[in-house]
Amino acid sequence: MPSTLTYAEARGRVLAAVRPLPPERIPVGEARGRALRQNIVAAHPLPPFRNSSMDGVAVCSADLADATDSTPAFITVVEVLPAGRTTSRALAGGEAIRIMTGAMIPDGADAVVPVEDLETLPGSPERVRIRRPAPPGQNFREAGRDLAAGDPVLGEGRELSAHDLGLLASLGEAHVLVGRPPVVAAFSTGDELLDAGAPLVPGAIRDGNLPMLAALLEECGARVARAARLPDDPVKVTEALGRALSSADVVLTIGGVSAGDFDPVKQSIGELESVELWRVAMKPGRPQAFGTPSGRLFFGLPGNPASVACVFEAFVRPALRKLQGFAQLERPHVAVQVAEAIPSRAGRTDLVRVTLARRDQRWWAAPAGDQVSGHLTPQSRAHALLIVPEERESLAVGDGADAILLRWPETGER
Ligand code: AMP
Ligand code: MG
């Protein structure tokens, strides 16, 4: 008999079974989307040296203290300083150094006058006329203003963004310690299933779940080493799972775990060491299998498309993210208001595929079509999975709820 678990118990058991995979050190340029597996502190200040935020001239502000339209100051440009070049020359009174954005401020200078405020004199390009004072520090970017040496920068478990890579590279972190992509094998099962490109024949449907599952797996950082379809044949299923479990970190099957009479897949799965058949008090996605055969993670997902999608968000995504070492295991959640009454049942957690609309500065959630596990369009239309908690029998219009955000509504969405 399968064990019956609440949604929270099932999640607890899955996550307790996951140990993060050993990290790997990779070039910073390849680390976008990975989980950072170390704490980063600034090895040096940013900016590393005081530099100019404008193209202009570095000056001694005292030389311009009395400059006005009618009594301009005249100073002499003694050197040109592009970004990347430094000078050992210190400015003396009445002197200026032409300086480009990002160039190190020379000694003796305490302000930069932008190029727009300079007038060069005909016939003597080294003389400039300036008609107003420059307060000390004007157009300076001070060393360490962004980060001081030793400041905490990024913490372990962070999902590295493109912007993070810019910060890490600027701090000289050429290689970073990150979670490695879990190697995953996924199998759909069913004699009724066809390739997307195959003509329909009576009694058969096309296999929509496998491409969806493979894409979801990749999207959360896994490397899909194998994605294949298996017949409803226990020998073939046992063989394929045995092979997959010898090389992949995570193995998933779709279908064949429900209470049907004809479930040869359930037999093979049931024979795997440590794998249990579960009935989770959730909708969709009640029948499932889970375990850790040979120290790998195994998920037996139910066959209906909505069940695959919802069980993925509830259990598979958090597990895969924990394997990689992410601190945040789920997609972001969004607080919503219920726009149409949602029936449920006490003692069961429902994930309702909803669309979101913005009104009165709130997100209003309405079911994205009939909540039938076999229907595909509600899943495609949905912006979020609204969670009806176990203790609720229904949600009424205007009730607040928590939803797993799948995507934001798009402009002009159809
Ligand atoms: P099962 O749990 O194998 O009985 O599958 C439940 C329902 O989901 C059945 O109607 C199957 O035809 C359907 N199903 C199973 N696997 C897939 C798949 N890969 N793509 C589309 N539908 C599927
Ligand atoms: Mg089946």
Which atom of ligand 1 is found nearest the CA of 304?
A: 8
pTM for the predicted model, two decimal places: 0.94
Q: Whose CA is nearest to atom 16 of ligand 1?
A: 303
Model confidence at 264: pLDDT above 80: no
pLDDT digits (tens, 9 = 90+) for 151-188: 999 999 999 999 999 999 999 999 999 999 999 999 99
User: Relative to the CA of 189, which ligand 1 atom is closest?
Assistant: 16
Judge whether residue 414 has pLDDT over 80.
no
Band of the pLDDT at 224, cuts 50, 70, 90?
A: very high
Ligand 2 center to residue 247 CA distance, Å? 25
Task: Determine the angle formed by the axes of helices 234-247 and 264-271, rounding to 10 degrees.
Answer: 40
CB-based contact 101:59 (threshold 8 Å): no
3-state per-residue secondary structure call for 153-198: EECCCCECCHHHHHHHHHCCCCEEEECCCCEEEEEEECCCEECCCC
Distance 303 CA to ligand 1 centre (A): 4
Can you tell me which residue has the tokens 């239309």? 381
Q: Which ligand is nearest to the CA of 375?
A: 1
Check whether 262 has a pLDDT greater than 80. Answer: no
pLDDT at res. 412: 87
Say how far apart CA 373 and CA 283 lie, in whole Å: 9
**Ligand 1 pocket, CB under 6 A:** 188, 190, 192-193, 205, 207-210, 254-256, 258, 260, 302-305, 374
Ligand 1 atom having least distance to the Cα of 254: 16
Q: Whose CA is nearest to atom 20 of ligand 1?
A: 207
Report the mean per-residue pLDDT for the chain: 96
Q: Which of 304, 308, 372, 376 has most ligand 1 atoms within 8 Å of CB, for mutation?
A: 304
Cα(244) to ligand 1 centroid in Å equals 21
- Least confident range from 46-50, 265-269, 352-356: namely 265-269
The number of the ligand nearest the C-alpha atom of 209 reads: 1
The per-residue pLDDT for range 140-152, each reduced to its tens digit, is: 999 999 999 999 9
Residue 254 CA to ligand 2 center (angstroms) comes to 8
- Please give the DSSP secondary-structure letter assigned to residue 42: -
Number of H helices, E strands in the chain: 8, 29
Using one digit for the tens of pLDDT, what is the confidence trace for 323-342?
A: 999 999 999 999 999 999 99
Ligand 2 centroid from CA 198, angstroms: 19
Q: Is the pLDDT of residue 28 over 70?
A: yes
The residue with greater pLDDT, 123 or 229, is 229
Q: How far, in Å, from the CA of 231 to the mean position of ligand 1?
A: 12
CA distances from 187 to 170, 193, 298, 381, 401 (A): 43, 12, 11, 25, 34
Q: Which of 187, 200, 205, 252 to mutate to test the pocket of ligand 1 (most atoms within 8 A of CB)?
A: 205
Ligand of minimum distance to the alpha carbon of 254: 1
Which ligand has the shortest distance to the CA of 191?
Answer: 2
Percent of the chain with pLDDT over 90: 94
Phi-psi region of 125 (alpha: psi -120 to 50; beta: other; left: phi over 0): alpha
Under 8 Å between Cβ of 58 and 52 = yes
Q: So what's the pLDDT on residue 285?
A: 97
- Ligand 1: distance of its center to the CA of 320 in Å? 23
Predicted confidence (pLDDT) at residue 204 exceeds the cutoff of 60: yes
User: Quick one: pLDDT at residue 363?
Assistant: 98
What is the residue-wise DSSP string for 101-137?
TTPBPPTT--EEEEGGG-EEETTEEEEEEE-S---TT
CA of 257 to the centre of ligand 2 (A): 8
Which atom belonging to ligand 1 lies closest to the Cα atom of 188?
A: 19
Exposed, middle or buried, 346 (CB in 10 Å: 0-12/13-18/19+)?
exposed
Q: H or E stretch including 16?
A: helix 7-17
Which residues, listed in sequence order, are joined to residue 114 by a DSSP beta bridge? 56
The closest alpha carbon to 382, from 362, 409, 361, belongs to 409
* Burial category of 218 from C-beta neighbours within 10 Å (exposed 0-12, middle 13-18, buried 19 and up): middle
Structure tokens at 7: 């949604």
| Cβ atoms 297, 319 nearer than 8 A | yes
- Is 252's pLDDT higher than 60? yes
Does the structure show a pLDDT above 70 at 261? no
Encoding tokens for residue 277? 């058949």
Q: Is the pLDDT of residue 395 over 70?
A: yes
% of the chain residues with pLDDT over 70: 100
Q: Which residues surround ligand 2, an ion (CB under 5 A)?
A: 190, 255-256, 303
The one-letter code for the residue type at 177 is L
What would the DSSP string read from start to end of 240-270? HHHHHHHH-SEEEEES--SS-S--HHHHHHH
pLDDT for the residue numbered 42: 98
pLDDT in tens, 58-78: 999 999 999 999 999 999 999
